[in-house]
Amino acid sequence: MATLYTKVKLYLEANSKTWDAEKNNIDLRNDGSGSYIKTWNVSGLTKPNDSKIAEYDSAGDTAETLHSVRKTRAREYPELKEQLDLLYKDLVAGKVDATGEWAKKIKKVKDDNPKS
């Protein structure tokens, strides 16, 4: 299940608002019995109740899964200098297409870590 942080962030984005960390306009807490919104100072937007937050369960799960996939892909992609070297070698070999080594490496990372 998505975290309260993710669901609140999606609620804000859906209402064209942002989380202003510098102003501490939102404070989430967990007292051991679950997370809750302690402080809500978002101009022009009502603090969401539990049922409103629950509306973001599915979207929150999707967002957190996608975030996890992106982090994994970022770790598994070759370093940029290696990618450029592979692209150069593919260019010289006339393989700047899906048959080149660069394309194969990137495809493997994407196939091993699908977004859905």
Per-residue pLDDT of the chain (116 residues; tens, 9 = 90+): 899 999 999 999 999 998 887 788 999 999 999 999 999 999 999 999 999 999 999 999 999 999 999 999 999 999 999 999 999 999 999 999 999 999 999 999 999 999 87
- Rounded Cα gap, residues 55 and 13, in angstroms: 14
Q: What is the pTM of this model?
A: 0.74
Domain at 1-75, CATH class: alpha beta
3 state SS of 36: strand
Residue spans in the chain of domains classed CATH 3.30.56.60: 1-75
pLDDT, residue 24, reads 80
3 state SS of 5: helix
Burial of 92 (0-12, 13-18, 19+ CB in 10 A): exposed
Sign of CA dihedral 74, 80, 82, 83: positive
Give the number of other CB atoms < 10 A from CB of residue 47.
14
Look up residue 25 and give its amino acid. N
pLDDT, residue 63, reads 95
- Rounded Cα gap, residues 37 and 29, in angstroms: 6
